[in-house]
């Protein structure tokens, strides 16, 4: 796409937004206040993943001279996206039109948004996931809840920022000569994307809670061991008969202990013990083949990183993109989607 | 009020369950006209005899298809056309609509649209500029193309389970089918990418979206690091590779918890001042490296302190000192949270057959546009049959009645 994007801040949320723009052909200029520290392989991996294909400028825009330069750069861009905190954004006027002219769209991704009582509170993904209703659902009853070990929040915020910025760009300016400002609060990103946490309460008066590897209201939906690792199953009621055949007990289809989903939840321990006995001698690959190709039951193997990187399906689809990091050739996840024309035209 | 940014974009939405409807809800919130194309039994039979779903007080009631909480949450601001695409006449009507639309989106299995005679090339025959988005679990080709994929079974396939759990031998799942939310937001981004591309080139596109790949993309830096070092981060509970301490700590009360992170020494000193405890000055915890090394001991000391504190006042004291802290909220606390309420995040919609309820709003606030001023509750099944077919295709009321009489369109589920 023929857009020029200015990314200001360098955090993972703006970084992921900019990454998507760069992936789809935009010219992305990533401005950070200082050269990033590359102390560890983790730092270098994240930096390469987020900033591959961008131009980079290290500029102290908290100083007046740097701010002027940033303003001039912004005036040359279609979109500005920042994940600086609100207390930095406001005095630096990052969302206001500068003398060089406004980019059409300016997007701020902040933990709590640009106003409200928590606006200037400190946050990390772990504290936001707690406030956002996610942590309460993960982990075992009676033990400390768990947080998410990936940058889910930052990358979802970045994807939404990308989506909103493109929508605003396509929709044109709402006010002539002023930028369209988009305020994305990460706590709201979480609350808006939750599955049924809030409707279970507002509709049914039930509070969703954590159940280890089991599901709130479905069984068998869980994670279980087999010969060489773990597998996840999600046998919704429509899959129940096929699941009985998969575990080698077709007679269970008519067993009153398991007649309804509520019955299967009540007798979940018995059911999982039967599945364990059926699968303890089988590998994940054997299970996948039987479940998916013979019985069409939604089962997924818990893949390790090396297995994922060698996975036939991802390789066949050309998912990985090659990159050089620290002088080493590595495979990097490609885009979650591809665009193609009619069958004769190759995908992008 | 200025126009919403996607006003004028028209989407035929064949998606079901979660990921797809989430994508089109995001687009509808941004102003797109989303026509939800539903099969007659898309919301189940008219009479529900088996418990299931999330219904308001009174259970499924006489019109269960209008009372499903998850459906209503995901389908606001959309119109509903209930039409049988397996019927030749229904398929013909659908193709006429394709000619009037910008986007067709489905989250069926990869073979479903071709089997309906509605693959991308067939859509292009009536609208060469159409953007067709298909989002099956594993994409439109490859060895797993036809595998059944739902969020909970897809999640382990993404590698996330390798990182999630209390320790090396105890993998855990999110129990939230999180790949659906990843796929939904990815699909919204994909639609905008294709619209921008069409704006620049004039060309439509087929968007092949694998929900599996959309989720694996969230692990990108971990997969690169593994290739550099040969080591995976492993499962480490709620700890952070750099911040120390970080964890979820018990508070006073029944199942009350607080998450806190110490990012650097300034946070550590501030935490020490709030706690006023001797351990804050312990040399074992003087540096981030030392705190990571003695994390177990530190967790025990921290929890001995937090477990004597009410969670919300503790969070406020820590925040006042500049330490990132968040109470672990479940639904009632989330709905009551003063910040989300002050921002007007929850939107009350008066859903027919349900009554007024608060629903999650949008995290995208655009200058000059009230977030939810003109929002509509989720549509009834086939509520907009006549409006869509008459308004977009110019069908007369007699023609529409004929389609209804022949069962091609419906306005309540069979059964």
- What's the Rg (C-alpha) of chain B? 25
Cβ neighbours of residue A208 closer than 8 Å, sequence gap 6 or more: A136, A137, A196, A197, A200, A201, A216, B330, B331
Flag whether pLDDT at B49 surpasses 70.
no
Please tell me the pTM assigned to this model: 0.97
Written as six digits, the tokens of B17 are: 């369950």
Are B141 and B202 in contact by the 8 Å Cβ rule? The answer is no
For residue B2, what are the CA distances in angstroms to A102, A104, B362? Answer: 19, 15, 17
Residue A79 distance to chain B (closest CA, Å): 14
Radius of gyration, CA atoms only, chain A: 24
* Rounded (5°) CA angle A346-A171-A105: 95
> Quick check: A244 contacting B, CB < 8 Å?
no
* DSSP structure string for B275-304: HT-GGGG-GGGSSHHHHHHTHHHHHHHHHH
- Say if the Cβ atoms of A170 and B327 lie within 8 Å: no
At A151-179, the pLDDT tens digits run 999 999 999 999 999 999 999 865 667 78
Q: Mean pLDDT, chain B, as a whole number?
A: 95
Structural domains of chain A, with CATH? 4-192 (3.40.50.10540), 221-302 (3.30.1540.10)
Residues 6+ apart with CB under 8 A from A253: A240, A241, A244
> Per-residue pLDDT tens for B191-222?
999 999 999 999 999 999 999 999 999 999 99
Could you read off the pLDDT of A295-336 as tens digits, one per residue? Answer: 999 999 999 999 999 999 999 999 999 999 989 999 999 999
Q: Which residues of B touch A137 (CB under 8 A)?
A: 174-176
Q: How many CB atoms lie within 10 A of CB B376?
A: 15
Contact A51, A19 (CB under 8 A): yes
Mean pLDDT per 10-residue run, chain A (348 residues)?
A: 94 97 97 82 93 94 92 92 94 81 86 97 98 98 97 98 97 75 97 95 96 94 96 94 97 96 96 96 97 96 97 97 93 95 62
- Give B49-103 as a 3 state SS string: CCCCCCCCCCCCCCCHHHCCHHHHHHCCCEEEEEECCCCHHHHHHHHHHHCCCCE
Residue B10, burial from CB neighbour count under 10 angstroms (0-12, 13-18, 19+): middle
Q: How far apart are alpha carbons A66 and A94 in whole angstroms?
A: 12
The b-or-e profile of B116-138 (16+ CB within 10 A means b, else e) is: bebbbebbbeebeebbbbbbbbb
Sign of CA dihedral B122, B126, B130, B133: negative
Active site residue B29: no
Tell whether B219 is within 8 A of chain A (Cβ): yes
For residue B36, the SS3 value is strand
Contact of A297 with A244, CB cutoff 8 Å: no
A213 interface with B at CB cutoff 8 Å: yes
Q: How far apart are CA B251 and CA B312, in angstroms?
A: 9
User: B-chain residues within 8 Å CB-CB of A155?
Assistant: 217-218
Helix (H, G, I), strand (E, B) or coil at A27: strand
Question: Nearest CA to A124 among A215, A186, A36, A47?
Answer: A186
Q: Which of B11, B328, B332, B347 to mutate to test the interface with A (most CBs of A within 10 A)?
A: B328
Residue tagged 């006489």 (tokens)? B62
- The per-residue pLDDT for B124 is 97
Which of B6, B7, B76, B157 to substitute to test the interface with A, most A CBs within 10 Å?
B157
d(CA B166, CA B295): 14
d(C-alpha B242, C-alpha A334), whole Å: 27
Q: Which residue of B has its CA nearest to A193?
A: B181
């Amino acid at each position: 796409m023929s857009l020029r994007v200015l990314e200001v801040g360098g955090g993972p949320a703006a970084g992921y937004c900019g990454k998507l723009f760069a992936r789809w052909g935009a010219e992305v200029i990533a401005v950070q206040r200082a050269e990033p520290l590359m102390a560890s392989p983790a730092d270098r991996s994240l930096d390469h993943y987020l900033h591959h294909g961008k131009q980079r400028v290290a500029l102290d825009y908290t100083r007046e001279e740097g701010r002027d330069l940033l303003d001039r750069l912004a005036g040359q861009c279609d979109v500005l996206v920042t994940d600086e905190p609100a207390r930095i954004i406001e005095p630096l006027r990052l969302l206001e039109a500068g003398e060089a002219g406004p980019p059409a769209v300016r997007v701020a991704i902040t933990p709590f948004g640009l106003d409200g009582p928590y606006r200037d509170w400190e946050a990390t993904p772990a504290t936001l996931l707690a406030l956002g209703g996610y942590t309460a659902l993960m982990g075992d009853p009676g033990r400390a809840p768990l947080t998410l070990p990936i940058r889910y929040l930052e990358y979802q915020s970045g994807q939404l920022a990308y989506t909103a910025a493109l929508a605003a760009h396509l929709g044109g300016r709402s006010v002539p000569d002023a930028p369209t400002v988009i305020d994305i609060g990460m706590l709201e990103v979480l609350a808006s994307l939750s599955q049924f946490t809030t409707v279970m309460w507002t509709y049914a008066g039930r509070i969703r809670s954590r159940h280890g590897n089991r599901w709130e209201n479905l069984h068998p939906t869980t994670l279980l061991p087999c010969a060489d690792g773990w597998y996840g199953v999600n046998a919704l009621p429509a899959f129940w008969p096929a699941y009985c055949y998969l575990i080698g007990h077709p007679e269970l289809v008519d067993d009153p202990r398991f007649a309804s989903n509520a019955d299967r939840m009540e007798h979940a321990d018995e059911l999982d013990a039967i599945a364990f006995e059926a699968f303890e001698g089988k590998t994940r690959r054997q299970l996948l083949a039987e479940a998916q190709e013979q019985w069409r039951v939604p089962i997924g193997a818990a893949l390790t990183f090396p297995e994922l990187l060698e996975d036939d399906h991802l390789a066949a689809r050309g998912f990985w993109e090659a990159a050089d990091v620290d002088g080493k050739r590595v495979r990097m996840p490609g885009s979650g989607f591809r665009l193609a024309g009619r069958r004769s035209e190759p995908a992008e | 009020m200025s126009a919403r940014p996607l006003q004028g974009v028209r989407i035929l939405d064949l998606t079901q369950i979660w990921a797809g409807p989430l994508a089109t809800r995001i687009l509808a919130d941004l102003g797109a006209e989303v026509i939800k194309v539903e099969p007659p039994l898309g919301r189940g039979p008219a009479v529900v005899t088996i418990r299931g779903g999330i219904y308001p007080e009174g259970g499924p009631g006489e019109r269960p298809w209008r009372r499903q909480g998850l459906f209503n949450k995901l389908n606001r601001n959309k119109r509903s056309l209930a039409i049988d695409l397996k019927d030749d006449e229904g398929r013909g009507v659908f193709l006429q609509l394709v000619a009037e639309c910008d986007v067709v989106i489905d989250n069926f299995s990869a073979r479903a649209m071709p089997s309906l005679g509605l693959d991308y090339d067939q859509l292009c025959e009536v609208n060469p500029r159409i953007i067709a988005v298909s989002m099956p679990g594993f994409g439109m080709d490859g060895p797993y193309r036809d595998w059944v994929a739902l969020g909970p079974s897809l999640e382990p396939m993404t590698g996330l389970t390798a990182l999630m759990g209390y320790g090396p031998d105890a993998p855990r799942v999110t129990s939230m089918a999180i790949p659906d939310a990843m796929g939904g937001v990815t699909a919204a981004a994909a639609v905008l990418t294709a619209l921008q591309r069409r704006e620049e080139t004039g060309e439509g596109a087929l968007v092949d979206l694998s929900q599996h790949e959309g989720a694996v993309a969230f692990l990108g830096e971990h997969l690169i690091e593994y290739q550099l070092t040969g080591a995976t981060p492993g499962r480490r509970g709620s700890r952070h590779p750099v911040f120390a301490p970080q964890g979820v700590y018990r508070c006073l009360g029944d199942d009350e918890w607080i998450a806190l992170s110490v990012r650097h020494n300034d946070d550590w000193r501030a935490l020490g001042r709030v706690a006023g405890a001797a351990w804050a000055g312990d040399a074992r915890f003087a540096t981030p490296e030392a705190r990571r090394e003695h994390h177990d001991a530190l967790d025990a000391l921290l929890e001995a302190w937090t477990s004597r504190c009410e969670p919300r006042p503790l969070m406020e004291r820590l925040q006042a000192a500049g330490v990132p802290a968040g109470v672990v909220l479940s639904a009632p606390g989330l709905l009551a949270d003063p910040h989300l309420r002050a921002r007007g995040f929850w939107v009350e919609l008066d859903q027919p057959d349900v009554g007024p309820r608060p629903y999650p709003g949008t995290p995208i606030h655009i200058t000059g546009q009230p977030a939810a001023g003109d929002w509509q509750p989720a549509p009834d099944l086939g509520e907009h049959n006549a409006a869509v077919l008459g308004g977009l295709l110019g069908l007369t009321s007699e023609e529409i009645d004929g389609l209804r009489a022949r069962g091609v369109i419906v306005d309540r589920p069979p059964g």
